[in-house]
Amino acid sequence: MIELRDLTKTFHAEGGPVHVLKGVSLAIPRGEVFGVIGRSGAGKSTLVRCINLLERPTSGRVVVEGREITALRGRALREARHAIGMIFQHFNLLSSRTALDNVALPLELAGRSRADARAAAAPLLELVGLAGKHGRYPAELSGGEKQRVGIARALASEPSVLLCDEATSALDPETTQAILTLLRDINRKLGLTIVLITHEMPVIKEICDRVAVLEHGEIVELGPVFDVFTSPTAEVTRRFVRDLVDRALPANLVARLAAPPEAGGNPVLRIVFRGPSANTPVMAEVVRRFGILLNILQAQVDYIQGEPYGNIIVEAIGRAEDVAASLEFIRSKDLKVEVLGHVAGDARAVA
């Protein structure tokens, strides 16, 4: 359990104070994978650093597993940090130590002998899939392997929390996927709470249970990933989500869309499927039952946390009363449908 209460952080720069965090409150239950997304400069890096006090918040409290971290200093703070693992965008491995010795480092810092620490580090390298690479130096490892070493190192002191600071931002998409899968496995196997910050929507979509959207040092949106993604309310969230689930309409369609229904014009509908409804052949049923034609202008199905989410834009061709009945039917199936506008029937020929 991680609790952030009214965190603020103000940096004093030459041009005056910069308010990086403006009262952030969060509660992250044990075992959750919690994502924080924001654009660069939103304050997400500062936020995650406040959890282990790499940055001391200007005001507010941080409580991890019932212990108020913000009340600790010196030795007590260092002890508390053993229970909070962290991985970094640029891995931050010691170039002078082998993979095994990097993983052993936190144990040595906790006062164990080097031999003892090494013995404890070996199974961790196996856990992250680097069994044969004990003696390799970071320079001899790929980016993905380095991050695996980073993860093993973060797990060495058996933390209850793992902080991930843009942990996949320096990796290619395929390696990102592999690292996220590993994090998910670790989360399930060890019951670790994971707090992950990123500017990449796919990362959140892939492994997070809940997400907070940070903008100008404030949380503008917070909730289960599926809800935030499929019905974003904040402008910044919409922008993040756009490429993923809410793609913009093609420009030539927008140009032809007319708001008022005109004679001979066909309505353009956006139908949103989510959850189980995405698995039923509603479209086919509409066509068969109401005798209208559906001309698909844009379609997309995505999976968020394994749940399907579809977004289809169609031009409905048919008699007005049949189209109205179709809309009614679609709504009765728990699908969201909205009329975006109308296109003139003859304009189609032009397009």
Site for another protein, rule CB under 8 A: 52, 54, 75, 77-82, 84-86, 88, 90, 92-97, 105-106, 108-110, 137-140, 153, 157, 163
Q: What's the min distance (Å) between Cβ of 145 and another protein? A: 13
Instruction: Name which of 85 and 267 has its Cβ closer to another protein.
Output: 85
Instruction: Name which of 106 and 318 has its Cβ closer to another protein.
Output: 106
Instruction: Name which of 94 and 324 has its Cβ closer to another protein.
Output: 94
Instruction: Name which of 43 and 138 has its Cβ closer to another protein.
Output: 138
Q: Own/partner pairs for 15-23, CB < 8 Å, 24+ apart?
A: 19/217, 20/46, 20/217, 21/46, 21/47, 21/50, 21/57, 21/58, 21/217, 22/216, 22/217, 22/218, 23/60, 23/218
| CB-CB contact of 190 with 216 (8 Å) | no
Q: What's the min distance (Å) between Cβ of 15 and another protein? A: 19
Q: What's the min distance (Å) between Cβ of 213 and another protein? A: 25
Q: How far apart are CA 100 and CA 149, in angstroms?
A: 8
Q: How far apart are CA 265 and CA 263, in angstroms?
A: 5
Q: What's the min distance (Å) between Cβ of 179 and another protein? A: 17
Instruction: Name which of 89 and 198 has its Cβ closer to another protein.
Output: 89
What letter would DSSP give residue 73? -
Q: What's the min distance (Å) between Cβ of 80 and another protein? A: 8
| Residue 313 neighbours by CB distance under 10 Å | 19
Phi, psi dihedrals of residue 196, rounded to the nearest 5°: -130, 130
Q: How far apart are CA 161 and CA 164, in angstroms?
A: 10
Instruction: Name which of 69 and 340 has its Cβ closer to another protein.
Output: 69
Q: How far apart are CA 308 and CA 302, in angstroms?
A: 6
Q: Which of 26, 65, 47, 93 is nearest to 158 (CA)?
A: 65
Q: What's the min distance (Å) between Cβ of 79 and another protein? A: 7
Structure tokens at 2: 């991680």
Q: What's the min distance (Å) between Cβ of 134 and another protein? A: 13
Structure tokens at 270: 């956006």
**Angle made by CA atoms 139, 144, 145, in degrees to the nearest 5:** 55
Instruction: Name which of 2 and 228 has its Cβ closer to another protein.
Output: 2
